[in-house]
Structure 1
Amino acid sequence: MKIAVVILNWNGILLLEKFLPSVLKYSPEATVYVADNASTDDSVSYVKAFFPSVKIVKNDTNLGFADGYNQALKHIEADLYALINSDIEVTENWLQPILKTFENEPKTAIIQPKILDFKNKEYFEYAGAAGGFIDKYGYPYCRGRIFDTLEKDNGQYDDNCEIFWATGACFFIRSTVYRELNGFDAVFFAHQEEIDLCWRAFNKGYKIKYISESIVYHVGGATLQQGNPKKTFLNFRNSLLMLTKNLPKNKLYPILLGRMVLDGIAGIQFLTKGKFNHFVAILKAHFSFYRLFLKHYKKRTKFQEPKYYNTKSIVCIYFIKKIVVFNDLFRTKQI
């Protein structure tokens, strides 16, 4: 199968200098692309000078993660897309087990590898860990990471299994499925767009998988740091838009109402911690959602799978019941 490894870049010359060599060294099966989001540094000239085998696709403006990939992939022909962040270090033979899975499982449309922390390589990394899930209200969490609790990799997730969403940090997808689903939702710009795409694939009957034999290391926070209010805005707004598009019809309004209440509680917590900018970001996220609601309601498809979650409220489980390890959700029957 023809595979394209596509690295989205915006002013990331230092990251490309550090991580592009590992991608080229360990990806002989792939054609490597840098999709540049109108960088103003010397990223493009640097890649052309030092990595002439890498193909360049240029976007005219910074379109964010979502539309940045949408526009770039229009110019890239391959059976499989491997969309990886510029702050990803890949390892030897990282592609083979994923290629094998795609070849043997035609209903598997999206795959992620094991994501470990580049800064602390014994631990899972926040963005994806060992595969993603959501609760009834759309809050995401991972095997190996629930909210801010990161697990050490002791081999507890050394399996290959179906998951609900794959991380955008290292996201493999069949090009035919990407086109069928019209790619990422451009309105999202960044954050949660990969969960939305996976949910749409899930509603179409496709499988999303985690493959543990493939390992990469992720720096994380290279674009927007965890404490950035813009990140808070995008996460809260995009999650509501995602729910609007993908929830089963009979659950749409009750879940949206419940989610808004929970968002309000989160906003109050930010206030009590003196994080006024994040409180304002949640308010702005909700007003932006109200403006975009009808547009995204019209994006709903005819069928939404009713069983999309494996926990009712990860917020309650984590903050009230103090269960912070993924496997403990099942040992204590919290699902």
Structure 2
Amino acid sequence: MSTSPATAVVVTYNSEDHITECLAALARADVLVRMVDNASTDRTVALVTERFPKVDVVVNPVNLGFAAAVNQGLSGIDTDVVLLVNPDCVLPPATVRELVRTLRTRPEVGVAGPRLRDPAGRVAVSAHPFESLGSVLASRFGGALLPVALRRAFSGADRRRAYDACTGTGTGESVAVDWLSGACLAIRTRLLTEIGGLDEGYFMYYEDEELCLQAWRRGSAVVYVPTVEAVHVGGASSDPEVTWPHLYRSMLRFFARHRRGTFHLVRLAVVLRALIGVVLAGMRRVGRSRERAGWRGRAWLEVCRIAVASTPGPAGQEHRKDLRRPQCT
């Protein structure tokens, strides 16, 4: 067993603008680092090999997706804790120590994550209840149109509790939540092995929610730790024309597996949202944002195609209507 407190797995894709700060923070935390690069076309790999010779680097000739790349990085890890860290996330040593301490002193906890802030210091809501038809409608049709306070007022108790924990209006103590953002997570290596790593059926997005769901199903709590923080830029290497289709494909897959009763309603909602997006993009093409409208229109057309072609899968596929997690004591 390594003497390092943890092994961090970092998946990169055109991450040269952020990877240096990310890895420098992990070096200060004295953790082992494995970086898996998903066919970057910038200087990500060159920067890391030049400046961080101790980092174990795996370079993929093609983009395998986030989940598959993480699973590559998990091979042969001999620390009892794994950190999943996005390349645009800066994790201070004190945060690493507290997350590791939480897992080692609380045997009921399998996954732990810190409070996330953006570079301007604003809190990112990174703790969530499991997705439902209502949450999809609120986020995809309400979204920025509804003030956060109003969305909170109409949310269920689980969503309000998670929101309060993230924004600091809760008790300030660690709180069990359904799932945490995969931008920064600490996980028991044994639990990850038992689950089989991340679900590679998700190219990107929703693999963190699936991971936390599988942790709960195996009796391991998912805990948000608001006393320590990390800085997360968010979407640093994302091309919306590529990522939006992946987001909605993963959403539909999650509902097909775990919420089959509302799958067709969610699919209909996605089709309607995509059609609205196509219409709005077409209207914007007459203005000065023609290029932006062009990629938005193409992205929404692909989302619509994905939703129309999506099915809940064959009978007998793993699913469960009741996603309520057990209470954590």
Q: In which range does the TM-score fall when normalised by the shorter chain?
A: 0.7 to 0.9
**Contact 2:116–2:232, Cα closer than 8 Å, also in 1:** yes
Aligned equivalents of 2:134, 2:306: Cα separation in 1: 15
Is the aligned partner of 1:263 residue 2:279?
Answer: no
Task: State the number of aligned residues.
Answer: 287
The aligned residue for residue 11 of structure 1 is: 14
The C-alpha deviation readout for 1:172-223, integer Å capped at 9, x for no partner, is: 2111211222222223111111112212222333211100122001111112
Alpha carbons of structure 1 residues 2 and 299: separation in structure 2 relative to 1, 3 Å: farther
Give the TM-score of the pair, scaled to structure 1: 0.75
The aligned counterpart of 1:293 is 313
Measure the CA separation in 1 of the matches of 2:134 and 2:209: 10
The one-letter code sitting in structure 2 at the alignment partner of 1:156 is T
d(CA) in 1 for partners of 2:128, 2:167: 18
Separation of aligned partners in 2, 1:219 and 1:267? 26
Gaps of 5+ in 1: 310-335
User: CA separation in 2, counterparts of 1:89 and 1:150?
Assistant: 26
Q: Which residue of 1 aligns with 2:123?
A: 124
Return closer, same or farther for 1:150/1:184 CA change in 2, 3 Å cut-off: farther
Is the CA contact 1:114–1:210 (under 8 Å) kept in the aligned structure 2?
A: yes
Give the AA of the match of 1:13: E
CA offset digits 1:148-170 (Å, max 9, x no partner) = 46799763253311111111111
Which range moves more in the overlay, 182-191 or 57-66? 57-66
For 1:308, the equivalent position in structure 2 comes to 324
TM-score by length of 2: 0.77
Aligned to 1:218: 232
Letter in 1 for 2:194: E
**How far 1:305 sits from its partner (Å)?**
7.1
CA-atom RMSD in angstroms:
2.9
Residue 63 of structure 1 aligns to a residue whose secondary structure is coil
3-state secondary structure, aligned to 2:8:
strand
Partner in structure 1 of residue 243 of structure 2: 231
The DSSP-based 3-state class of the residue aligned with 1:23 is: helix
Q: What is the SS of the residue equivalent to 2:181?
A: coil
Percentage of matched positions with identical amino acids? 21
Conserved? CA contact 1:124–1:150, under 8 Å: no
Instruction: Choose which of 284, 296, 301 in structure 1 pairs with 2:305.
Output: 284
On the 8 A contact 2:168/2:226 being kept in 1, the answer is no
Deviation at 1:85, TM superposition (A): 0.7
For 1:58, the equivalent position in structure 2 comes to 59
Cα separation, partners in 2 of 1:147 and 1:109, compared to 1, 3 Å: farther
| 1:94 alignment partner, SS class | helix
More helix as a share of residues: 2
Sort the Cα spacing of 1:53 and 1:307 in 2 relative to 1 into closer, same or farther, 3 A.
closer
**Structure-1 residue corresponding to 2:221:** 207
- Tell me which residue corresponds to 2:288: none
